[in-house]
Amino acid sequence: MSPNVLPAIRFAWWNVNNFAHYDASRAGQERWPLEPPAYAEKCARVDAALQHLVATQAPDVLGLGEITATAAEELRNRALSGYELIFPDAAPGAQFQVAVFHRLARVH
């Protein structure tokens, strides 16, 4: 690599729009899935899209908006095991937040 060329970082952002885990005590509330199959369906759609992204153009940093901490942790365990998860600015008492995943190691 030339000394004048900085390494690139691949970044992706996606507002996953009300991606809440299933919580029986919140079922039916605005933004929360009514039943487990509704959550499973959203997980399947998000997982498929992210697995395709990682397989074709794996981002070094991935930001997801409007997601609960539990949904983000479950997503990492299912589809993003090579990434670490952080919540950079979780507002006190906020259920939906920004989740940031970053790759543990770059593979070329």
Side-chain-side CA neighbours of 68 within 13 Å: the count stands at 17
Domain count, the chain: 1
Q: Does residue 108 fall inside a structural domain?
A: no
Does 91 fall in a domain? yes
Whether 59 is in a domain gets the answer yes
Whether residue 35 lies inside any domain: the answer is: yes
Residue 60 domain-assigned (yes or no): yes
pLDDT of the chain, 108 residues: tens digit per residue: 566 777 789 999 999 999 999 999 999 899 999 999 999 999 999 999 999 999 999 999 999 999 999 999 999 999 999 999 998 876 777 889 999 999 987 654
* Tokens found for residue 75: 């997503």
Domain hosting 89: range is 11-103
Cα–Cα distances (Å) from 70 to 7, 28, 85, in that order, read: 33, 18, 11
Residue 1 lies in a domain: no
